[in-house]
A = this chain, B = another copy of it.
Amino acid sequence: MKRVFVNMTRVPGTVGCVTDERLPDDGYVAYGVTVDLVILTIRADQLCVLLVRRGLAPFAGALALPGGFVRPDETLAQAARRELAEETGLLLPELPSRGSAWPGVHLEQLAAYGAIDRDPRARILTIAFLALAPDLPEPRGGTDAAAAEFVPVTALSGLGALAFDHAEILADGLERARAKLEYSALATAFCPAEFTVAELRRVYETVWGAPLDARNFHRKVTGTSGFLEPVGHSTARDGGRPAALYRRGAAELLHPAMRRPPAATP
């Protein structure tokens, strides 16, 4: 499918004219730019991703990652935050431009995707972001989402392909999340402000898809300095002996790192 790019523009003040073959060195071609979000949460012990059902062509009726065009007055991170707020109904304070985070929600850049025909309409690049959040209220149909829903990632093979190259983006987001649980305190982003060690362990087990030894896990996380901060030993119950509650500590990176078992992640 060879397309003619009619949406080339020149910017006053730059040299260069636009042809289809070879651009002058300071030539300038403009592309559409979107942000797409991999928003992960844990519901009922399942790792879920927020997907929207597309209403418009292309891929009308298919599931897709939430996202939208970057506006001229916002950075990439700001666009991602706006989309996140629109899709989840969360209101977010202003954030530093890169990385985390307000209490509990984590947002970071994942990668840029620029395959030539990833959007059949025109050349559109997307910058994907990864968001991790504790269990959220039901997503409200945002302004640009026909219908948004959290879908267990294990159910995706049976749901048909995602729109555009979103399956690849989602796979990259999942792998990033799984990898970062090893060496960062990111798992706490899936937990409410106060949580027990068992809840944190279930996060690891759910994201990695592998069981962990509860005793060793407890020793490890409580022994890693800066990971957890005990909040006055209030407790909550879950059937047995009450558990101590913790808040996330100051550490971003874990020393030593948690070790992901070699098990599969189906």
Interface residues of chain A, those whose CB is within 8 Å of chain B, are 5-14, 20, 23, 25-33, 56, 68-77, 97, 109, 111-116, 121-123, 125, 127, 143-144
- In the bound complex, CA of A12 to CA of B71 (Å): 19
Q: Give the complex CA separation of A56 and B24 in angstroms.
A: 13
Query: In whole angstroms, what is the CA distance A25 to B67 when docked?
Result: 10
Check A9–B30 contact: CB distance below 8 A: yes
Residue in B97, B111, B122 whose beta carbon sits within 8 Å of that of A11 in the complex: B122
By the criterion CB–CB under 8 Å, are B11 and A32 in contact?
Answer: yes
Copies of the chain in the assembly: 2
Q: List 8 A-B contacts (CB under 8 A).
A: A11-B122, A23-B71, A29-B70, A30-B31, A33-B125, A70-B114, A76-B112, A111-B112
Contact between A76 and B125 (Cβ–Cβ < 8 Å)?
Answer: yes
CB distance from A29 to the nearest CB of B (A): 6
Bound CA span A28–B28, Å: 18
Check A30–B27 contact: CB distance below 8 A: no
Contact across chains for B6 and A12 when beta carbons are under 8 A apart: yes
Q: How far in angstroms is the closest Cβ of chain B from A168?
A: 9
User: Which residue from B14, B20, B30, B56 sits with its C-beta under 8 Å from A26?
Assistant: B56
Q: Which B residues are in CB contact (< 8 Å) with A123?
A: 72
A26 to chain B, nearest CB (A): 6
Whole-angstrom distance between the Cβ of A96 and the nearest chain B Cβ:
12
